[in-house]
Amino acid sequence: MTNKGTMTNEERLRKTIRFEETDKILFYPAIMQFAAKYAGITQQEFMEDQGKADAAYEKTFVELGGWDVGRPMLGRGPGSDDPGMSGLAMSCGLPGRDFTNNTTMQFIEEEVMKPEDYDYIIDNGYFAFLKVLSERRNQGKPPMPEMSEDQKRAATEQQEQRIKRETEKWEKRGVANLMGGMGSIPPFDIFSINRSVSKFPMDVRRMPDKIKAAIETAMPEIIEQSLKELEASPGKRIGTAASRSSGTFISTKHFEQFVLPTWLDYVWAMADAGADIIFHCDCDWTRFLPYFKEFPAKRCLLQLDGATDIWKAREILKDHMAIQGDVPAPLLTLGTPDEVFSYCKKLIDEIGKEGGGFMLSAGCCTPDQSAIENVRAMARAGNEETWL
C-alpha cells in the first residue's frame, strides 16, 4: 500500500467513523489464519510458533501490497487459554491435536454453565462467577504449573513488551490499529455460548426474569472492566462482539427484552468515555438494524460478515453508523478473482463512494481456505480502487 494522500490511516479511520471527508476508503482484510496458507506453513505452526506466525503475517502484508487498518498479532499471553475476563469458557479443537495439522482452530460448543448459575451471578456478581467457571472448566485437567509472583510479573511484562513492540512496528508502517484490547461480549451471548445453544433457549422461556437480572448484574461490571481497558487502548477504540443475539437466533421481543437495554448502557458508557465503538456482528442482523440508530451517532463502526444485508444496513443507518464489510467467505474460497474484484468494486462504489463511512473488508475475517488469487483480487481493489 502506497500512501498517496496526506492523511495518516489513523486520521482516516477516525474520520471514516465520523463520516468526515477523507481521501481514501480504508482497506482492512482481517487477515488471520489465512497468513499461514499464504506463507506455506501449517495451521499448527501458525498457532504454536510465534516467530513463524509473525513472519507469515509479514510476508502476506508485503506481498499483497499491504493494508490500511489491522490488528497487531499479539500472540498468546499468560492465561490466554482461560475464560478469564472474556467470559468464554468453551474449549478449542486444535490443529495437530484434534485435527490434521493444517485444519484451523475451532471452538467446541459445550454446556459449561448450569441453570443455577444465574442465581450465583445475581448473588455474587459476574466476575466472581467467571472465576467459578474457570475452576469448573479446569476440573480434571492436569494442574497448571504454579507460577511465583515474580514469574507472573515477568510473563506479564514480556507480553506487554510484545504488544508495545508489535503496535509500534505497525504504526511505523502506517497501519492504523483498529482496537487495542479485546472489548466485550453482551452477557446474553456469553450465557448462550456457555449454556450451549440447545439449552439456553429453554432457559429464556423458563426463567426470563432471572436471566434478565443476571444480565443486569453483569453489565455494570463489564462496563467497569472495559473502561479500565480503554485507558490503555491505542486510538481509543473498543470492540463489542455478538452473534447469538442476532436476528438469526432470537425474536425482536427477546432482543428488546434481554439485549438492547444493557447493550445501550455499555456502548453509551464507552462513547461518554471518549471511545469509538467497533461492533463485530456475525450472523444476520438485518431485522435489528433500526435499533442501531439508538447507539451514538458517528461514533460506531459496524462490522458485517455477509449474512446481514449490507445495502439495507446503509439504507437504514445512513450516516448514523459507519459500516465495514463484507466480502463473503464462500466467494473468497470458491469464487473467481474477477468475481471477488467486482464485488469489492460494487461495495466501494455503491456504499463507500456514495455515502462515506465505509471500510472495505472480508466478512468476519479472510478464511484460511480462501484462494490466494481471490485475496490478491480483494487487496487490489482495496489498495487501488479506494482513492477518492
**Residue ranges binding other proteins (CB under 8 A):** 93, 98-100, 103-104, 106, 108-109, 197-198, 200-202, 204-206, 247-251, 254, 283, 287, 307, 328-335, 367-370
Nearer to other proteins, 322 or 329 (CB): 329
Nearer to other proteins, 55 or 94 (CB): 94
Checking DSSP bridges between strand 237-242 and strand 176-177, what pairing results, if any? Answer: unpaired
Q: How far is the CB of 294 from other proteins (least distance, A)?
A: 21
Q: How far is the CB of 101 from other proteins (least distance, A)?
A: 11
Nearer to other proteins, 66 or 363 (CB): 363
Q: How far is the CB of 346 from other proteins (least distance, A)?
A: 16
Q: Are 270 and 295 in contact (CB under 8 A)?
A: no
Q: How far is the CB of 258 from other proteins (least distance, A)?
A: 11
Nearer to other proteins, 26 or 289 (CB): 289
Q: Are 3 and 22 in contact (CB under 8 A)?
A: no
Q: How far is the CB of 91 from other proteins (least distance, A)?
A: 10
Measured CA to CA in angstroms, residue 351 lies from 17, 63, 249, 319, 360 at distances of 14, 27, 27, 11, 10
C-alpha cell at position 353: 463512494
Nearer to other proteins, 3 or 248 (CB): 248
DSSP character at residue 369: T
DSSP states of 134-187 as a string?
Answer: HHHHHTTSPPPPP--HHHHHHHHHHHHHHHHHHHHHHHHTT-EES-SS--B--H
Nearer to other proteins, 70 or 335 (CB): 335
Q: Which residues of 30-49 are buried (b: 16+ CB within 10 A; e: fewer)?
A: bbbbbbbbbbebbbbbbbee
Q: How far is the CB of 225 from other proteins (least distance, A)?
A: 28
DSSP states of 234-267 as a string?
Answer: GGGEEEEEESTTSTTTS-HHHIIIIIHHHHHHHH
